[in-house]
């Protein structure tokens, strides 16, 4: 995949394009993202959230009750010496703490269960959406960065909801209840506490604005770190063979340093709330103590109400501190959630035609009419190509590198759509049939064989999930893979490792050919299918392919002309156009032709 400066930048550019035609979430406000998250998840979890909120209300009520009853504790037990009330007061305090403990437990486990379900739902949703995006999207995005961003940001959806519920139902209600206790005990002391609140709120708002941009930068830098490490692991043999260790270490260290600096900046911004809230709490408590102490000394006021007020004030400190950090924490969570929505809101470039029907294949004839195509709106690679691949026959595409051969192979399964012209299968425009029905009739073998983690049998069966073990083994025999498979430690049940790391390049290619053969599709697309094979394996697979080609329409790209001499038709490409057509014998006789020159270059002296 091609490297880009930042995968986050790619996503943002794509989102900007989509805004022209799509109503989108307001990415500039916390409220906009919050409304969307609630709209998408609230109904599914309304019962769970209602139960969690009920538990949080009990937590708030029991906390406020503990502060409120302190006046009775001090006045009745210590001042009035009412022994008959001590057990009742102490029992009620125990019951309050018991309720608070169980309510906290049920609230935490319920919110965790809901949060885990939300993460799982969005992971499935993201994966399904990624499957709908075009191949062009992945060519413009670095896979490692994309995976890193998804893994880091998907938690943001859960955190936004959990922060909202816990802050409103627990911290806000607890704070309101405790403020009610404080006002009921002494309204003058309450005014002293609230006097310094507005400056604190203004300072926290300033911090949260600065944190927004820093969080987004941190996510992108961390994705670069994970991406660089993943690329190094995947290409470790190249790294070591070219002694790239020091150079890559310098590159990765630079990225890590940048990520560390952003993380440190976020830590500084986040923790600035601590001195702000601590200063507020210290000033408020000191002022309250001074006022209450002088009033008790000079006016002989009973201490019960004061102790109840101070208890409420101290208990209010934690929820107030959490609420003070709420906007800062919400900004971080919303940045992560917003980046997930930017990905989910990307619209596939290759949309189904409104009246798309299933492809019906009879002869399996493929026709390209005046096809024009270029990547990323650059100079066209294909410039008015007209080709007909007759049904049940083999059509080979040859020519110099960059002539557009592999591009044609990519257009037939609709990995891309042509800028102009039409591609037909049995007279049906493939742009007007469903992509699933189109691809069900195709089997594809690429230049670079790719195997998925799992067993050899699993990888072959991906070609046709309902294939029996016998079908799998028959396909492996046709691809001349059966013998080396049996030589593996566990035969067909041998794990292949990441991208078939335990197998040679030729073995991987033969498994990918077996995967195509087990599909039993009427159209076979071979893009340099034997490029990774040694001479002996190539000869064996060539025989297998010749057998598999019988009765199928085959479009094959080849650089080695020896592999396509028996093709029914050879199309010679040059500079994005069809230069020559004919059989091997016809083209080889044209002494001034491009095919003849290529044939002479590859023929042994």
End-to-end CA distance of the chain: 39
Higher-confidence position of 321 and 555: 555
Q: How confident is the model at residue 449 (pLDDT cuts 50, 70, 90)?
A: confident
Mean pLDDT of the chain: 79
Stretch among 276-285, 316-325, 384-393 having the lowest mean pLDDT:
276-285
299 three-state secondary structure: helix
Asked if residues 66 and 93 have their Cβ atoms less than 8 Å apart, the reply is: yes
Query: What mean pLDDT do residues 143-159 have?
Result: 73
Higher-confidence position of 22 and 494: 494
H-assigned helices in 414-455: 435-440
Stretch among 107-116, 208-217, 447-456, 596-605 having the lowest mean pLDDT:
208-217
559 three-state secondary structure: coil
Query: What mean pLDDT do residues 517-533 have?
Result: 82
Please report the pLDDT score of residue 421 as a whole number. Answer: 93
Q: How confident is the model at residue 198 (pLDDT cuts 50, 70, 90)?
A: low
Higher-confidence position of 421 and 74: 421
Please report the pLDDT score of residue 460 as a whole number. Answer: 92
Interval 346-395: pLDDT, tens: 887 777 888 889 999 999 999 999 999 988 756 889 999 999 999 999 99
Stretch among 3-17, 50-64, 392-406, 430-444 having the lowest mean pLDDT:
3-17
> 14 - beta bridge partners?
none
* Architecture of the 7-344 domain: Up-down Bundle (1.20)
**Parallel, antiparallel or unpaired: strands 442-445 and 366-373:** unpaired
Q: Where in the chain do CATH 1.20.1560.10 domains reside?
A: 7-344
Asked if residues 503 and 427 have their Cβ atoms less than 8 Å apart, the reply is: no
Predicted confidence (pLDDT) at residue 9 exceeds the cutoff of 80? no
> 388 - beta bridge partners?
367
Q: How confident is the model at residue 143 (pLDDT cuts 50, 70, 90)?
A: low
DSSP string, 259-284: HHHHHHHHHHHHHTHHHHHHHHHHHH
Ramachandran category for residue 404: left, alpha or beta (phi over 0 → left; psi -120 to 50 → alpha): left
Dist CA 598 CA 563 (whole Å) = 13
Interval 236-269: pLDDT, tens: 767 776 677 787 888 888 888 887 887 787 777 7
> Whole-prediction pTM value?
0.69
Please report the pLDDT score of residue 216 as a whole number. Answer: 65
To 10 degrees, the CA torsion angle through 279, 284, 287, 289? -110
Asked if residues 56 and 166 have their Cβ atoms less than 8 Å apart, the reply is: yes
Query: In this structure, which CATH number among 3.30.565.10, 3.60.10.10, 3.40.50.300, 3.10.105.10 belongs to the domain 366-602?
Result: 3.40.50.300
Predicted confidence (pLDDT) at residue 452 exceeds the cutoff of 80? yes
DSSP string, 55-102: HHHHHHHHHHHHHHTHHHIIIIIIIS--HHHHHHHHHHHHHHHHHHHH
Predicted confidence (pLDDT) at residue 102 exceeds the cutoff of 90? yes
Please report the pLDDT score of residue 78 as a whole number. Answer: 67
Please report the pLDDT score of residue 132 as a whole number. Answer: 82
Higher-confidence position of 6 and 63: 63
Cα–chain-centroid distance for residue 368? 36
Predicted confidence (pLDDT) at residue 115 exceeds the cutoff of 90? no
Dist CA 52 CA 169 (whole Å) = 9
How many percent of the chain have pLDDT more than 70?
80
Predicted confidence (pLDDT) at residue 6 exceeds the cutoff of 60? no
Please report the pLDDT score of residue 367 as a whole number. Answer: 95
Q: Where in the chain do CATH 3.40.50.300 domains reside?
A: 366-602
Please report the pLDDT score of residue 412 as a whole number. Answer: 93
Dist CA 391 CA 234 (whole Å) = 40
Please report the pLDDT score of residue 10 as a whole number. Answer: 34
Stretch among 52-66, 221-235, 482-496 having the lowest mean pLDDT:
221-235
Q: Which residues contact 488 (CB under 8 A, 6 or more apart)?
A: 456, 494
> 387 - beta bridge partners?
368
- Highest mean pLDDT pick, 78-87, 107-116, 135-144, 364-373: 364-373
Query: What mean pLDDT do residues 430-445 have?
Result: 90
Please report the pLDDT score of residue 12 as a whole number. Answer: 33
Query: What mean pLDDT do residues 536-544 have?
Result: 70
Cβ atoms < 10 Å from Cβ of 475: 27
């Amino acid at each position: 995949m091609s490297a880009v400066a930042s995968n986050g930048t790619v996503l943002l550019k794509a989102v900007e394009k989509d805004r022209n035609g799509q109503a989108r979430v307001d990415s500039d406000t916390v409220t906009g993202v919050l409304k969307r998250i609630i709209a998408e998840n609230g109904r599914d979890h309304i019962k769970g959230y209602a139960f969690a909120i009920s538990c949080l209300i009990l937590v708030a009520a029991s906390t406020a009750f503990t502060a409120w009853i302190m006046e009775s504790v001090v006045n009745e037990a210590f001042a009035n010496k009412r022994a008959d009330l001590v057990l009742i007061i102490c029992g009620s305090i125990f019951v309050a703490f018991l309720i608070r403990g169980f309510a906290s437990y049920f609230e935490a486990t319920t919110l965790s269960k809901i949060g885990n379900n939300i993460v799982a739902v969005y992971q499935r949703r993201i994966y399904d959406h990624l499957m709908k995006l075009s191949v062009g999207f992945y060519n413009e995005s670095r896979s490692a960065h994309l995976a890193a961003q998804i893994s880091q940001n998907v938690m943001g959806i859960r955190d936004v909801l959990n922060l909202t519920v816990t802050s409103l139902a627990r911290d806000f209600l607890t704070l309101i209840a405790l403020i009610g206790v404080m006002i009921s005990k002494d309204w003058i002391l309450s005014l002293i506490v609230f006097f310094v609140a507005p400056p604190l709120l203004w300072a926290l708002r300033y911090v949260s604005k600065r944190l927004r941009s820093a969080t987004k930068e941190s996510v992108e830098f961390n994705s670069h770190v994970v991406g660089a490490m993943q690329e190094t692991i995947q290409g470790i043999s190249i790294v070591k063979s070219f002694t790239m260790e020091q150079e890559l270490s310098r590159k990765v260290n630079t990225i890590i340093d940048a990520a560390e600096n952003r993380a440190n900046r976020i830590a500084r911004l986040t923790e600035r709330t601590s001195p702000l809230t601590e200063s507020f709490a210290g000033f408020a408590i000191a002022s309250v103590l001074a006022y209450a102490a002088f009033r008790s000394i000079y006016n002989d006021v009973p201490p019960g109400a004061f102790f109840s007020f101070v208890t409420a004030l101290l208990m209010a400190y934690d929820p107030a501190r959490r609420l003070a950090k709420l906007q800062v924490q919400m900004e971080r969570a919303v940045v992560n959630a917003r980046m997930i929505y930017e990905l989910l809101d990307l619209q596939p470039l290759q949309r189904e035609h409104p009246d798309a029907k299933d492809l019906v294949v009879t002869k399996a004839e493929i026709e390209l009419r005046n096809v024009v195509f270029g990547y990323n709106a650059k100079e066209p690679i294909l410039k008015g190509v007209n080709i007909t691949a007759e049904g049940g026959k083999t059509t080979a595409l040859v020519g110099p590198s960059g002539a557009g051969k592999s591009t044609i192979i990519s257009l037939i399964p609709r990995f891309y759509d042509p800028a102009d012209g039409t591609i037909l299968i049995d007279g049906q425009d493939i742009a007007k049939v469903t992509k699933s029905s189109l691809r069900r009739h195709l089997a594809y073998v690429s230049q670079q064989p790719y195997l998925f983690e799992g067993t050899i049998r699993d990888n072959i069966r991906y070609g046709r999930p309902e294939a029996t073990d016998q079908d799998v083994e028959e396909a492996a025999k046709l691809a001349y893979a059966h013998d080396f498979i049996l030589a593996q430690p566990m035969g067909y049940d041998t794990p292949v490792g990441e991208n078939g790391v335990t197998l040679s390049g030729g073995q991987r290619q033969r498994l990918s050919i077996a995967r195509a053969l087990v599909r039993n599709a009427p159209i076979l697309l071979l893009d340099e299918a034997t490029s990774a094979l040694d001479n002996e394996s190539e000869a064996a697979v060539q025989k297998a392919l010749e057998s598999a080609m019988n009765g199928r329409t085959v479009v094959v790209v080849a650089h080695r002309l020896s592999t396509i001499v028996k093709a029914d038709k050879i199309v010679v490409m040059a500079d994005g156009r069809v230069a020559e057509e004919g059989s091997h014998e016809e083209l080889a006789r044209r002494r001034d032709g491009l095919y003849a020159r290529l044939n002479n270059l590859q023929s042994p002296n």
